[in-house]
């Protein structure tokens, strides 16, 4: 039983690592596409750092 839990944890770690790598590849590809289309990168401030009552 303990070996099965260990195997499941190792599989979950591998899957999450592959998902992280896939996400990084997708972000890089989207950045390249945006650069080719001439879309500028916009750096938005975090939602929580803004005053919620202040309209811009």
SS3 for 1-56 is: CHHHHHHHHHHHHHHHHHHHHHHHHHHHHHHHHHHHHCCCCCCCCCHHHCCCCCCC
Please report the pLDDT score of residue 47 as a whole number: 65
pLDDT at 56 over 60: no
Please report the pLDDT score of residue 36 as a whole number: 92
> For 14-54, how does the pLDDT look when each residue is reduced to its tens digit (9 = 90+)?
999 999 999 999 999 999 999 999 888 777 666 666 655 65
Mean pLDDT over 7-12 rounds to 98
Cα angle 45-31-48, degrees, rounded to a multiple of 5: 15
Please report the pLDDT score of residue 51 as a whole number: 58
């Amino acid at each position: 039983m303990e070996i099965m839990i260990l195997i499941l944890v190792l599989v979950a770690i591998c899957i999450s690592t592959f998902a992280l790598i896939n996400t990084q590849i997708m972000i890089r590809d989207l950045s390249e596409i945006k650069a080719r289309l001439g879309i500028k990168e916009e750096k938005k401030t975090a939602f929580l750092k803004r005053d919620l009552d202040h309209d811009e």
